[in-house]
Amino acid sequence: MVNQLEITDQRKENAEAEIRENTKRVDYNTLEYPIEVIVQKYLDGKDEDENELFIPDYQREMAWDEDRQSKFIESVILGLPIPYIFVADISGSEDLARLEIIDGTQRIRTLIRFINNKLKLKNLEKLKTLNGFTFENLPLPRQRRFKRTSIRIIVLTKEADEEIRRDLFQRINSGSLELNEMEKRRGGQPGKCLDLIEKLSKEQRFLNLCSFSKTEIDKRDPQEFVLRFFAFLNNYQNYGLSDNKVHQFLDEYLKQENKSDLLKIDVMRNDFYSMLEFIEKYCPNSLHIYRKIKNLYEPTTRIKFESITVGVTLALRQNQTLIPKSTSFLDSEEFKKLTKSNASISQNKVISRIEYVRDQLLGNS
Protein backbone atom coordinates (compact mmCIF):
# COMPACT_ATOMS: atom_id res chain seq x y z
CA MET A 1 0.00 0.00 0.00
CA VAL A 2 1.41 3.41 -1.01
CA ASN A 3 1.91 5.84 1.85
CA GLN A 4 -0.66 8.62 1.50
CA LEU A 5 2.03 11.25 2.00
CA GLU A 6 4.38 9.80 -0.61
CA ILE A 7 4.87 12.11 -3.59
CA THR A 8 4.56 9.85 -6.62
CA ASP A 9 4.67 10.78 -10.30
CA GLN A 10 0.95 10.08 -10.46
CA ARG A 11 0.25 12.48 -7.59
CA LYS A 12 2.31 15.15 -9.34
CA GLU A 13 0.26 14.69 -12.51
CA ASN A 14 -2.97 14.83 -10.51
CA ALA A 15 -1.80 17.99 -8.75
CA GLU A 16 -1.02 19.70 -12.06
CA ALA A 17 -4.42 18.69 -13.46
CA GLU A 18 -6.15 20.05 -10.35
CA ILE A 19 -4.29 23.36 -10.60
CA ARG A 20 -5.24 23.77 -14.26
CA GLU A 21 -8.87 22.90 -13.54
CA ASN A 22 -9.19 25.44 -10.74
CA THR A 23 -7.10 28.24 -12.20
CA LYS A 24 -9.21 31.18 -13.33
CA ARG A 25 -7.61 33.84 -15.43
CA VAL A 26 -8.13 37.21 -13.81
CA ASP A 27 -7.08 40.20 -15.90
CA TYR A 28 -6.24 43.38 -14.05
CA ASN A 29 -4.71 46.79 -14.48
CA THR A 30 -2.57 48.76 -12.06
CA LEU A 31 -3.45 52.44 -11.75
CA GLU A 32 -2.41 55.33 -9.56
CA TYR A 33 -4.91 57.94 -8.43
CA PRO A 34 -4.30 61.03 -6.30
CA ILE A 35 -6.12 60.92 -2.97
CA GLU A 36 -8.25 63.88 -4.08
CA VAL A 37 -9.53 61.88 -7.08
CA ILE A 38 -10.20 58.75 -5.00
CA VAL A 39 -12.28 60.77 -2.55
CA GLN A 40 -14.18 62.43 -5.39
CA LYS A 41 -14.92 59.12 -7.11
CA TYR A 42 -16.34 57.79 -3.83
CA LEU A 43 -18.42 60.81 -2.86
CA ASP A 44 -19.85 61.96 -6.22
CA GLY A 45 -23.23 60.26 -6.66
CA LYS A 46 -23.01 58.34 -3.35
CA ASP A 47 -26.46 59.44 -2.15
CA GLU A 48 -28.02 58.14 -5.37
CA ASP A 49 -25.93 54.93 -5.21
CA GLU A 50 -24.27 55.88 -8.47
CA ASN A 51 -20.80 56.77 -7.21
CA GLU A 52 -18.04 55.39 -9.41
CA LEU A 53 -16.11 53.93 -6.45
CA PHE A 54 -18.48 52.10 -4.09
CA ILE A 55 -18.53 49.72 -1.14
CA PRO A 56 -20.46 46.46 -1.72
CA ASP A 57 -22.88 45.02 0.83
CA TYR A 58 -20.52 42.24 1.92
CA GLN A 59 -17.95 44.71 3.22
CA ARG A 60 -17.76 45.72 6.86
CA GLU A 61 -18.74 49.03 8.43
CA MET A 62 -16.14 51.54 9.63
CA ALA A 63 -14.11 49.51 12.11
CA TRP A 64 -10.85 51.38 12.64
CA ASP A 65 -10.74 53.45 15.79
CA GLU A 66 -9.33 56.98 15.65
CA ASP A 67 -5.87 55.85 16.77
CA ARG A 68 -5.70 53.46 13.81
CA GLN A 69 -7.06 56.10 11.44
CA SER A 70 -4.58 58.69 12.71
CA LYS A 71 -1.67 56.29 12.26
CA PHE A 72 -2.73 55.66 8.66
CA ILE A 73 -2.89 59.41 7.91
CA GLU A 74 0.54 59.82 9.51
CA SER A 75 1.91 57.13 7.18
CA VAL A 76 0.48 58.94 4.15
CA ILE A 77 1.97 62.28 5.23
CA LEU A 78 5.36 60.65 5.83
CA GLY A 79 5.28 59.09 2.36
CA LEU A 80 5.47 55.52 3.66
CA PRO A 81 4.38 52.66 1.37
CA ILE A 82 0.59 52.17 1.42
CA PRO A 83 -0.94 48.75 0.62
CA TYR A 84 -2.67 48.49 -2.73
CA ILE A 85 -6.41 49.04 -2.91
CA PHE A 86 -8.24 46.28 -4.80
CA VAL A 87 -11.32 47.16 -6.88
CA ALA A 88 -13.30 45.45 -9.62
CA ASP A 89 -14.86 46.91 -12.78
CA ILE A 90 -18.56 46.08 -12.51
CA SER A 91 -20.84 45.67 -15.49
CA GLY A 92 -24.59 45.14 -15.20
CA SER A 93 -27.82 45.79 -17.04
CA GLU A 94 -27.01 49.50 -16.74
CA ASP A 95 -23.27 49.73 -17.26
CA LEU A 96 -22.12 52.73 -15.22
CA ALA A 97 -18.47 51.60 -15.25
CA ARG A 98 -18.54 51.46 -11.46
CA LEU A 99 -15.64 50.16 -9.37
CA GLU A 100 -16.47 47.83 -6.47
CA ILE A 101 -14.03 48.09 -3.56
CA ILE A 102 -12.80 44.60 -2.68
CA ASP A 103 -10.11 45.59 -0.20
CA GLY A 104 -9.35 49.07 1.12
CA THR A 105 -12.63 50.38 2.52
CA GLN A 106 -11.11 51.33 5.89
CA ARG A 107 -8.35 53.32 4.18
CA ILE A 108 -10.73 55.13 1.84
CA ARG A 109 -13.18 55.96 4.63
CA THR A 110 -10.30 57.28 6.73
CA LEU A 111 -9.10 59.54 3.90
CA ILE A 112 -12.62 60.92 3.47
CA ARG A 113 -13.05 61.58 7.19
CA PHE A 114 -9.72 63.39 7.35
CA ILE A 115 -10.25 65.58 4.28
CA ASN A 116 -13.75 66.46 5.52
CA ASN A 117 -12.30 67.55 8.90
CA LYS A 118 -14.15 64.78 10.78
CA LEU A 119 -10.94 63.17 12.03
CA LYS A 120 -8.75 64.87 14.63
CA LEU A 121 -5.31 63.28 14.68
CA LYS A 122 -4.30 61.71 17.99
CA ASN A 123 -1.54 59.65 19.59
CA LEU A 124 0.85 60.14 16.66
CA GLU A 125 4.35 58.85 17.45
CA LYS A 126 6.45 60.39 14.68
CA LEU A 127 4.61 63.64 13.95
CA LYS A 128 3.67 64.50 17.52
CA THR A 129 3.18 68.19 16.67
CA LEU A 130 0.20 67.21 14.52
CA ASN A 131 -1.73 65.70 17.44
CA GLY A 132 -5.04 67.59 17.64
CA PHE A 133 -4.86 68.70 13.98
CA THR A 134 -7.69 68.30 11.50
CA PHE A 135 -7.06 68.60 7.75
CA GLU A 136 -7.94 72.30 7.67
CA ASN A 137 -5.31 72.98 10.35
CA LEU A 138 -2.54 71.87 7.99
CA PRO A 139 -0.73 74.64 6.08
CA LEU A 140 -2.23 75.10 2.58
CA PRO A 141 0.86 73.72 0.77
CA ARG A 142 0.70 70.56 2.93
CA GLN A 143 -3.03 70.16 2.21
CA ARG A 144 -2.34 70.30 -1.53
CA ARG A 145 0.53 67.82 -1.32
CA PHE A 146 -1.62 65.45 0.74
CA LYS A 147 -4.45 65.61 -1.82
CA ARG A 148 -2.17 64.82 -4.73
CA THR A 149 -0.40 61.94 -2.99
CA SER A 150 -0.99 58.90 -5.22
CA ILE A 151 -2.23 55.52 -4.08
CA ARG A 152 -1.90 52.44 -6.25
CA ILE A 153 -5.06 50.58 -7.17
CA ILE A 154 -5.41 47.10 -8.66
CA VAL A 155 -8.44 47.10 -10.97
CA LEU A 156 -9.87 43.70 -11.89
CA THR A 157 -11.42 43.84 -15.34
CA LYS A 158 -15.14 43.33 -15.87
CA GLU A 159 -14.49 39.65 -16.71
CA ALA A 160 -14.02 39.00 -12.96
CA ASP A 161 -17.41 37.70 -11.82
CA GLU A 162 -18.90 37.97 -8.32
CA GLU A 163 -17.51 34.59 -7.27
CA ILE A 164 -13.97 35.72 -8.10
CA ARG A 165 -14.42 39.04 -6.32
CA ARG A 166 -15.77 37.45 -3.13
CA ASP A 167 -13.09 34.76 -3.21
CA LEU A 168 -10.41 37.44 -3.49
CA PHE A 169 -11.96 39.37 -0.60
CA GLN A 170 -11.97 36.25 1.56
CA ARG A 171 -8.39 35.32 0.67
CA ILE A 172 -7.04 38.82 1.33
CA ASN A 173 -8.68 38.82 4.75
CA SER A 174 -8.14 35.18 5.77
CA GLY A 175 -6.07 35.02 8.90
CA SER A 176 -6.43 38.74 9.43
CA LEU A 177 -7.08 39.96 12.94
CA GLU A 178 -9.25 42.70 11.51
CA LEU A 179 -12.07 40.51 10.26
CA ASN A 180 -13.99 38.19 12.54
CA GLU A 181 -15.57 34.96 11.35
CA MET A 182 -19.00 36.48 10.66
CA GLU A 183 -17.49 39.23 8.53
CA LYS A 184 -15.62 36.64 6.48
CA ARG A 185 -18.84 34.70 5.94
CA ARG A 186 -20.54 37.86 4.72
CA GLY A 187 -17.81 38.33 2.16
CA GLY A 188 -17.29 34.73 1.11
CA GLN A 189 -20.54 32.78 1.51
CA PRO A 190 -23.43 34.68 -0.13
CA GLY A 191 -26.78 32.94 -0.50
CA LYS A 192 -30.44 32.72 0.57
CA CYS A 193 -29.69 31.69 4.15
CA LEU A 194 -27.18 34.50 4.68
CA ASP A 195 -29.69 36.98 3.23
CA LEU A 196 -32.26 35.78 5.77
CA ILE A 197 -29.73 36.07 8.62
CA GLU A 198 -28.91 39.64 7.55
CA LYS A 199 -32.59 40.60 7.61
CA LEU A 200 -33.44 38.92 10.92
CA SER A 201 -30.35 40.35 12.63
CA LYS A 202 -31.81 43.83 12.14
CA GLU A 203 -35.18 42.88 13.67
CA GLN A 204 -35.67 45.42 16.45
CA ARG A 205 -37.33 42.95 18.82
CA PHE A 206 -34.30 40.69 18.55
CA LEU A 207 -31.87 43.58 19.11
CA ASN A 208 -33.86 44.71 22.14
CA LEU A 209 -34.00 41.18 23.47
CA CYS A 210 -30.22 40.77 23.39
CA SER A 211 -29.27 44.36 24.19
CA PHE A 212 -26.29 44.48 21.83
CA SER A 213 -23.92 47.42 22.14
CA LYS A 214 -23.02 49.49 19.08
CA THR A 215 -19.56 47.91 19.08
CA GLU A 216 -21.06 44.43 19.04
CA ILE A 217 -23.43 45.38 16.24
CA ASP A 218 -20.52 46.76 14.20
CA LYS A 219 -18.67 43.48 14.79
CA ARG A 220 -21.75 41.67 13.40
CA ASP A 221 -22.50 39.79 16.63
CA PRO A 222 -26.27 39.86 15.92
CA GLN A 223 -25.68 38.01 12.64
CA GLU A 224 -23.61 35.38 14.40
CA PHE A 225 -26.27 34.90 17.08
CA VAL A 226 -28.93 34.33 14.40
CA LEU A 227 -26.68 31.90 12.53
CA ARG A 228 -25.98 29.97 15.73
CA PHE A 229 -29.71 29.80 16.44
CA PHE A 230 -30.44 28.13 13.09
CA ALA A 231 -27.34 25.92 13.03
CA PHE A 232 -27.98 24.42 16.46
CA LEU A 233 -31.75 24.29 15.95
CA ASN A 234 -31.51 22.25 12.78
CA ASN A 235 -28.31 20.31 13.37
CA TYR A 236 -27.39 20.29 17.07
CA GLN A 237 -27.50 16.50 17.33
CA ASN A 238 -24.72 16.27 14.75
CA TYR A 239 -22.52 18.87 16.40
CA GLY A 240 -19.11 17.44 17.17
CA LEU A 241 -19.54 14.16 15.32
CA SER A 242 -16.56 15.09 13.13
CA ASP A 243 -14.73 16.80 15.95
CA ASN A 244 -15.60 20.13 14.36
CA LYS A 245 -14.83 23.40 16.03
CA VAL A 246 -17.74 25.79 16.44
CA HIS A 247 -16.85 28.02 13.51
CA GLN A 248 -16.33 25.03 11.21
CA PHE A 249 -19.72 23.74 12.30
CA LEU A 250 -21.32 27.12 11.51
CA ASP A 251 -19.49 27.45 8.18
CA GLU A 252 -20.60 24.03 6.99
CA TYR A 253 -24.19 24.67 8.03
CA LEU A 254 -24.31 28.05 6.27
CA LYS A 255 -22.79 26.62 3.09
CA GLN A 256 -25.44 23.88 3.04
CA GLU A 257 -28.42 26.11 3.85
CA ASN A 258 -27.46 28.79 1.31
CA LYS A 259 -28.71 26.29 -1.26
CA SER A 260 -32.14 25.95 0.42
CA ASP A 261 -35.32 26.63 -1.50
CA LEU A 262 -37.65 29.49 -0.58
CA LEU A 263 -40.07 27.16 1.23
CA LYS A 264 -37.40 26.12 3.73
CA ILE A 265 -36.28 29.74 4.16
CA ASP A 266 -39.89 30.63 5.05
CA VAL A 267 -39.97 27.85 7.67
CA MET A 268 -36.75 29.16 9.20
CA ARG A 269 -38.12 32.70 9.30
CA ASN A 270 -41.31 31.52 11.02
CA ASP A 271 -39.30 29.56 13.61
CA PHE A 272 -37.33 32.68 14.47
CA TYR A 273 -40.39 34.92 14.87
CA SER A 274 -42.26 32.30 16.90
CA MET A 275 -39.30 32.03 19.25
CA LEU A 276 -39.18 35.81 19.72
CA GLU A 277 -42.90 36.00 20.48
CA PHE A 278 -42.72 33.17 23.01
CA ILE A 279 -39.76 34.64 24.90
CA GLU A 280 -41.31 38.11 24.97
CA LYS A 281 -44.54 36.67 26.36
CA TYR A 282 -43.32 34.10 28.86
CA CYS A 283 -39.90 35.34 29.98
CA PRO A 284 -40.73 38.43 32.10
CA ASN A 285 -38.68 41.46 31.06
CA SER A 286 -36.55 39.12 28.93
CA LEU A 287 -34.12 38.90 31.84
CA HIS A 288 -33.24 35.36 30.93
CA ILE A 289 -31.74 36.43 27.62
CA TYR A 290 -29.61 39.32 28.76
CA ARG A 291 -28.20 40.09 32.19
CA LYS A 292 -28.26 43.37 34.07
CA ILE A 293 -25.10 44.45 35.88
CA LYS A 294 -25.60 47.60 37.95
CA ASN A 295 -27.45 49.88 35.53
CA LEU A 296 -26.03 48.40 32.33
CA TYR A 297 -27.45 45.62 30.17
CA GLU A 298 -24.97 43.22 28.64
CA PRO A 299 -25.71 40.47 26.10
CA THR A 300 -25.91 36.95 27.40
CA THR A 301 -23.29 34.38 26.49
CA ARG A 302 -23.68 32.59 23.17
CA ILE A 303 -24.06 29.30 25.03
CA LYS A 304 -26.98 30.54 27.09
CA PHE A 305 -28.60 32.26 24.12
CA GLU A 306 -28.63 29.22 21.87
CA SER A 307 -29.69 26.89 24.71
CA ILE A 308 -32.79 28.99 25.46
CA THR A 309 -33.79 29.95 21.93
CA VAL A 310 -33.23 26.51 20.42
CA GLY A 311 -34.88 24.74 23.37
CA VAL A 312 -37.91 27.03 23.08
CA THR A 313 -38.23 26.42 19.34
CA LEU A 314 -37.92 22.65 19.68
CA ALA A 315 -40.72 22.74 22.26
CA LEU A 316 -42.89 24.86 19.97
CA ARG A 317 -42.35 22.40 17.13
CA GLN A 318 -44.00 19.77 19.32
CA ASN A 319 -46.71 22.05 20.66
CA GLN A 320 -47.43 25.24 18.72
CA THR A 321 -49.91 26.47 21.36
CA LEU A 322 -47.57 25.77 24.26
CA ILE A 323 -48.28 27.68 27.49
CA PRO A 324 -45.54 26.83 29.99
CA LYS A 325 -46.47 26.26 33.62
CA SER A 326 -43.34 28.18 34.60
CA THR A 327 -40.02 29.37 33.23
CA SER A 328 -38.40 29.57 36.66
CA PHE A 329 -36.14 26.65 35.71
CA LEU A 330 -34.07 29.19 33.74
CA ASP A 331 -32.94 30.56 37.11
CA SER A 332 -32.15 27.13 38.52
CA GLU A 333 -28.67 26.10 39.60
CA GLU A 334 -28.83 23.18 37.19
CA PHE A 335 -29.39 25.45 34.18
CA LYS A 336 -26.72 27.89 35.37
CA LYS A 337 -24.29 24.97 35.60
CA LEU A 338 -25.19 23.79 32.09
CA THR A 339 -24.73 27.23 30.56
CA LYS A 340 -21.96 28.87 32.56
CA SER A 341 -19.48 30.80 30.41
CA ASN A 342 -16.83 28.08 30.57
CA ALA A 343 -19.30 25.26 29.98
CA SER A 344 -18.13 22.44 27.76
CA ILE A 345 -19.00 22.56 24.06
CA SER A 346 -18.79 18.80 23.64
CA GLN A 347 -21.60 17.13 21.74
CA ASN A 348 -23.15 15.63 24.88
CA LYS A 349 -23.16 18.95 26.74
CA VAL A 350 -24.65 20.82 23.78
CA ILE A 351 -27.45 18.27 23.49
CA SER A 352 -28.02 18.21 27.26
CA ARG A 353 -28.57 21.94 27.74
CA ILE A 354 -30.74 22.41 24.64
CA GLU A 355 -32.96 19.44 25.46
CA TYR A 356 -33.10 20.48 29.12
CA VAL A 357 -34.91 23.67 28.11
CA ARG A 358 -37.15 21.81 25.67
CA ASP A 359 -38.15 19.15 28.19
CA GLN A 360 -38.75 21.62 31.02
CA LEU A 361 -41.12 23.62 28.83
CA LEU A 362 -42.97 20.50 27.69
CA GLY A 363 -43.18 19.13 31.23
CA ASN A 364 -41.14 16.05 30.36
CA SER A 365 -38.61 16.42 33.16
d(CA 241, CA 18): 30
pLDDT, position 243: 46
Question: Each residue of 174-201: pLDDT tens digit?
Answer: 544 445 666 666 655 667 888 899 899 9
pLDDT, position 107: 92
If we measure between CA atoms, which residue out of 146, 140, 76 comes closest to residue 115? 146
**DSSP summary character for residue 289:** T
pLDDT at 288 over 80: no
Q: Which residues contact 259 (CB under 8 A, 6 or more apart)?
A: 191, 192
Q: What is the mean pLDDT of the chain?
A: 81
**Structure-derived torsion over alpha carbons of residues 304, 313, 332, 298, reported in degrees to the nearest 10:** 30
Query: What per-residue string of b and e applies to 202-211 under the rule 16 or more CB within 10 Å gives b?
Result: eeeebeebbb
If we measure between CA atoms, which residue out of 262, 250, 275, 257 comes closest to residue 200? 275
pLDDT, position 70: 95
pLDDT, position 158: 66
pLDDT, position 176: 45
**338 alpha carbon, distance to own chain's centre:** 28
Who has greater pLDDT, 337 or 67? 67
Contact 228, 306 (CB under 8 A): yes
Of 134-143, 205-214, 243-252, 346-355, least confident by mean pLDDT is 243-252
pLDDT at 207 over 70: yes
pLDDT, position 171: 63
Number of H helices, E strands in the chain: 16, 7
Of 212-216, 301-305, 315-319, least confident by mean pLDDT is 212-216
pLDDT, position 341: 58
Range among 52-56, 106-110, 209-213 with highest mean pLDDT value: 106-110
User: To the nearest 5 percent, what fractions of the chain are helix, strand and coil?
Assistant: 55, 10, 35
Of 14-23, 110-119, 258-267, 310-319, least confident by mean pLDDT is 14-23
Question: Each residue of 224-240: pLDDT tens digit?
Answer: 899 999 999 988 888 76
Who has greater pLDDT, 15 or 172? 15
